[in-house]
Structure 1
């Protein structure tokens, strides 16, 4: 692991973090998701505006009212009003969302010779973390391939492997759980990395993605749509024993801003994945075989 030996790690406020991620004039996406009301609001503005006292004050009000606060990891093109792949101006960051065995995963990353020292590590809830690297010179295909590979290697959330992903903004309470947790970030390096700094073998559509059985099935080369990726993720997660309800929640959270009924979509996707696993495995774990009732 390459590091920045001259840098002293330090915590950052939300404003400091936004300006550490982006140039002041960069257009960035800020997403507010209120689980109480079911409302999701996205605003695209400059990093300088996001860091301003007025904008931060409005985010604090929304957070107090129940909204979770997220920020996009890559800048948006000028004149764009949505956070789609075609509107991503350039790849500025790689990241992992570590929601299982988070402390162990972070230590594994810090001690790994295959990835450089992270620039930022966020504590998003007890034993859950998000890890961010600043990069340059990568296109979207390269970045998403590396994200999938690092996700497989370090046990991250497969839903967080696309270039449009939003991660949590520090300084605001995580409203996902009954007991609130204020998200914190530690700035650990000022380095800007390149593809050569990541020694992990890049993923590709031809790379085998096993479902935990003995068949060694592959995803088809035409596997490109987000819905197909969601389905593939559901199959992998269920096959390794993840709670179906948790898989549903992850997919629903990920698709909340582009599906009219993300909960139904996620339930349908997981039920479809369960059926596929049952059809292709002689011995399926009971918790995986249990069907989920899909209700509109």
Structure 2
């Protein structure tokens, strides 16, 4: 059975590092090695914004929950906040001492959390651009970070093979999930903040129960290194892509594949998912963006 159908495919003029979708599924943001952030309109396939300011490669860029702002992070050690309406930079967040690997808004859009090669996790106030807290605990580079839905918890992943769970108010680490396998590349919380997925260099996706701290599922069908993996909002499904060119949709309960969306000759660079889980975008090394639409509801 097919759950997602390819709606369109189009080329970008430059090779990008990451791709993310706006909450309403109408725009794409791309981060690039040429220090720029590009915003594309999906309908017209044209650039509608190009943001300049970073002095080195941009590692990641993501929309705010209301779709009006973008946060970007860079090898230049800074995080920048951009206003989509005025097309101007709003804030520069300075504090990390090494490349910033990821930055993300809280669900209310008032705060940003960031991870860095300097091993720290930092919390920022969007309105004044000031650092609120520096969370220290990882012993190696922090590769990814995310707020919980209620904004009270942050999860982070490190190259020391740990996923750390933090209480925002106190700044205290409340749990550590230890993976004895290969180096963790990234993490993501489920839409209900009950589970966390991690993906690692051993080509495996792990699903963890946050309450118990236990690993409950393992998806191990990828034959190549996993580049990105995300929960599909509102469902018991995960979308993943690999440098072997495969884009896959997984059933968490059975640990089996729902659908192989594409088998591509070029390796995947990233995926983005709309807030309602009905739209997926994928980006490949040949500079191709593919847009997928949900055609069959996934039963939980």
**What is the TM-score of this pair, normalised by structure 1?**
0.31
Counting strand residues as a fraction of each chain, which structure ranks higher?
A: 2
Query: Is the radius of gyration larger for structure 1 or structure 2?
Result: 1
For CA contacts below 8 A with separation 6 or more, give which structure has more relative contact order.
1
Counting helix residues as a fraction of each chain, which structure ranks higher?
A: 1
**What is the TM-score of this pair, normalised by structure 2?**
0.31
